[in-house]
Amino acid sequence: MSTASGLAYFYPEGHAVHVVPHHPETPERVETIQSALDQVGWLKQFTHIRAHDLPRGLLESVHQPAYLDMLEMSCRRGIGYLDTDTYFTADSWRLANQAAGGALAVAQAVWNGSSRCGFALTRPPGHHARAGQGMGFCLLNNIALAAEGILQIGARKLAIVDLDLHHGNGTQEIFWQRGDVLYLSTHQLPLFPYSGNLDETGAGLGEGCTANFPLPPMSGDTAFQQVMDGLIIPLLDRYQPEMILVSYGYDPHWLDPFGSLLLSAAGYASLAGKLVAWADEHCGGKIAWFLEGGYNMEAAQACSLGVVAALIGEPWDDPIGPAPFPEGHSWQHMVERGRQFWGI
């Protein structure tokens, strides 16, 4: 089990200038998490990691050069939008590079053994960013860049587990035809970006290296535990990655304003504990978490403390508790279909 001193931690200094009025992707999303970690006394025990500078070659191994040029030049002009949801400011190019560089630094610290596990408050988030298009509040794909960086220094097989409310369409697309990254996602469907169906499994060398487990509204702790125990863990067993990278969104929590899932913070901590246990047994404990979505600040604190408690082996109690309404049952059909589809 990890210890607090073994956790590599990244906080995006200066991120507060990436902001526009009346938008849900706010600086408070990461500030409230850092404050909670400080209040319980864990923050001072972490190894605080500075972002790596991202070589242009690494950026271009994930994103199209034309998109990178467009994004950089657009940010120089000041505040604007890539689409109706995804804003940028004059500082966003620098801060997006810092977020991705922080993700890479945390991943490398875990990979090379200088830290046992990692937790990166990556902002702007990243898992919707496609190779040639920013979207869904995301500019650069932080976790894809971190994974690619690890692969370039010797990793052969990695797993990305996406536990956000929304499907990580960008991450899926980037690794769609590759066999060196197993992409696993559970998310609400139907919901933006309206991808991540069970039959989306990759192509070419990546055939069978993408697995999606979409959950209907009103799926909660029981559904998530069944997906983890009955689908995600068996596929990790089958693939045997050398490290797990987790796209961490706290928006599956029942308090989140943008979804209809009923996951509790205790449920999230349980999912984290199972992934940590798998990593401890199979890949030397190598696991790192990277922030994606989540828009309720009470849930931000509770879920993040639960995840970090699982990473560092500290006791923790859910201050919010379960959803005050019953979990649905329609998720059971998806789980059964998933087991049949994947031969589990």
Q: Which residues are catalytic?
A: 128
Q: Which amino acid is at 90?
A: A
Farthest CA pair distance, the chain: 52
CA angle 278, 284, 288 (to 5 degrees): 70
Burial of residue 250 (number of CB atoms within 10 Å: 0-12, 13-18, 19+): buried
Burial of residue 163 (number of CB atoms within 10 Å: 0-12, 13-18, 19+): buried
CA pair distance 293, 253, nearest whole angstrom: 11
Identify whether the C-beta of residue 148 lies closer than 8 Å to the C-beta of residue 245: no
Identify whether the C-beta of residue 99 lies closer than 8 Å to the C-beta of residue 140: yes
Structural tokens at position 208 = 């069978």
Structural tokens at position 67 = 């998109």
| Block residue for tokens 């610290």 | 109
